[in-house]
Amino acid sequence: MSGVAILGVFVADTTFTADRQPEVGETILGRSFTLGPGGKGSNQAVAAGRAGADVHFIARLGRDAFADMALSVWSEAGVTPAIIQCDEPTGAAMIFIETGSGDNAIIVAPGAAGGITPADVEAQADVIAGSAVFVTQLEQPMDAAICGMQIARRADVTTILNPAPAATLPDGMLALCDYITPNETEAQALSGIAVSDLSSARAAADALLRLGVARAVIVTLGAQGVLYHDAERSVSIPAVTAGSVVETTGAGDAFNGAFATALAEGRDPVDAARFGCACAGLSVTRPGAAASMPTRAEIDDLLALSPMGSA
């Protein structure tokens, strides 16, 4: 087995900036508008593809211009689509950003992506079973994510759950996770332990291991890097700095895609997490999510200049 299979969501992000939000019934002039690819699963697939993985992305799209955008983005990143196309519109998000403060408000209409079913996932069972690593998140329906993880587990494929956005998991789902990659908020939601520093991150990770995570918990801590924690090792891996921070959107997706890539290559998971940190460190120096994902050469060059994390 080789490569990475990712189950997730694609949505088209429409981003508007204005001095304030309009009142109900009011029309105002905005300052800027952008249209680009989004969705955590899609972003992770692009990150993995650019990082060098043989990656397949399982998703559900409509038959429209937004679907064409998705296919173009994946083609450029070397991602092989394993998609279900339907007559529903491809998902989209409306992102409002307030000029000056940067505060945002978001409306997501999942569209086709919201309708992916376990049967759709079963139809891609050969893709999942033929991979070294399977990744999913919580943007698509929960039963579809569970189905994908069950297929992977039966085929002895390594599983990664990025539990975002935060949600209550059904009984038994954590036991399907070889690795789980929550941020501070998600780790708290899953463990019941507030995460504010390395000590509390370790406590939350211990709780998640007791709840059933099979191999390790990797808590992503933003500017503090990540904590890798399993039954034998607890390693703080610092953020890898690549320049001035421009935008943090997509940093977590960069980490997950690159981490999966390195695991699929057979790397030790601590080394794979460091590879993920380097990918995330590069992504935040550029605007956008999918557009910010670095190439394999850029990641390798940055790692050659960066120190290892500490125990």
Active site positions, annotated: 253
CA distance 266 to 118: 29
CA distance 202 to 227: 8
CA distance 121 to 26: 43
Which residues are CB-contacts of 94 (< 8 A; sequence separation ≥ 6)? 14, 16, 106, 107, 108
Alpha helices (H) in 171-227, listed in sequence order: 184-191, 198-210
Count of Cβ atoms closer than 10 Å to residue 308 Cβ:
11
Pick from 47, 110, 36, 103: nearest CA to 257? 47
Q: How far is CA 157 from the centre of its chain?
A: 18
Contact 287, 248 (CB under 8 A): no
Half-sphere exposure of 273 (CA within 13 A, CB side): 27
Phi-psi region of 86 (alpha: psi -120 to 50; beta: other; left: phi over 0): beta
Backbone angles phi, psi at 98, to 5 degrees: -80, 125
Kindly state the DSSP code that residue 310 receives in the 8-state scheme: B
Token pair, residue 293, equals 């994902």
Q: Which amino acid is at 204?
A: A
Q: What angle do CA 36, 139, 114 make, to 5 degrees?
A: 85
CA distances from 130 to 74, 112, 151, 154, 286 (A): 20, 26, 11, 12, 34
